[in-house]
Structure 1
Amino acid sequence: MRNTARWAATIGLTAAAVCGPLAGAAPAAPGNAPASLYAPSALVLTVAHGESAALAAPERAVTLVCAPAPSGTHPAAGPACAELRAAQGDFDALASDDDMLCTREYDPVVVTVDGVWRGERVSYERTYSNECVKSSLGASVFAF
């Protein structure tokens, strides 16, 4: 049941993230090219406490739209999009804060990402040993 609720929330947030920026856009007149073309980048990010997303209900969820401009419900959309561009959309390659000291406490936190990055489907899940370790990687992306 939890997995069904997670997918329903993910689909709803993805639809809002992808369609929201397009709501005000008027279709191009026949024979005219649109002003700009871009590959869509719209993501739904979730955070939950637990060892896997299948076993833990999301505690927080945000949308992050990076193209054509940073937007969404993410509190730091601009810096998060910049970090993802620098990592070329590879969530495992997000920069870490090597100066951050974390305890060895085991209180697993799982993050998920579902959506589209530069026109390609993305589905990502990673479990961190605790909140501090999660926060040390991708400072802006998973800071919500």
Structure 2
Amino acid sequence: MLRSTRTAALVVLLAFGAAVPAHAACPPEADQESGLTLSVSPTDDTTDRSRQRVTILECRTPAGTHPRKAEACDQLETAGGNFNSLKADPDAICAMIYAPVTATAAGTWRGKPVTWQKTYANECQLTSETGYVFEPAATEAAVRPDATV
């Protein structure tokens, strides 16, 4: 009797297991969308917003305006979506010119809200620390309609 009860329980468990979709075994955050608005703004005494560059990074869909989407998404994936953990080029040599820029990210990464901002001494420092994520040429055409990318 005990043996037949165990066998019946095993059959039920196996049948239930076969009914569970294959994607259920994947971590839920892997299927979550990631949409980020990334901006780079000069940080100086002017209020000229025309120099602000904005791009959209969508890693799970074909949408977005980021020119180096694959590379930027790979870097964010490696950093676990943590902008403070981005590692791009530790050997970069930047001129010691103070022309501060502020990088901002807002949106979602793997379904979790993201709000991040940091000011860098210049665009070279920004690029050396964030790689392709805040690439300076990201929206040059959007800022200057006559520019070609």
Return the TM-score normalized by structure 1: 0.67
Which protein has the bigger helix share? Answer: 2
Q: Give the Å deviation of 1:115.
A: 0.3
Bigger radius of gyration:
2
Q: Helix, strand or coil: the match of 2:59?
A: strand
- Tell me which residue corresponds to 1:136: 128
- Tell me which residue corresponds to 2:112: 120
CA distance in 1, matches of 2:63, 2:77: 15
| Among 40, 46, 50, the residue aligned to 2:43 | 50
Runs of 4 or more, structure 1, over 3 Å off, are 55-58
Would the alpha carbon gap of residues 40 and 56 (structure 1) be closer, same or farther in structure 2, given more than 3 Å must change? farther
Q: Helix, strand or coil: the match of 1:137?
A: helix
Can you give the 5+ residue segments of structure 1 that lack an aligned partner in the other structure? 1-32
Return the TM-score normalized by structure 2: 0.65
- Tell me which residue corresponds to 1:78: 70
CA distance in 1, matches of 2:87, 2:62: 19
The one-letter code of the counterpart of 1:43 is L
Let me know the Cα RMSD of the aligned residues: 2.3
CA distance in 1, matches of 2:63, 2:72: 10
- Tell me which residue corresponds to 1:97: 89
What whole-Å deviation, never above 9, does each CA across 1:96-134 have from its counterpart, x for those lacking one?
Answer: 312211122111000100001000110110100011101
Can you give the 5+ residue segments of structure 2 that lack an aligned partner in the other structure? 1-20, 139-149
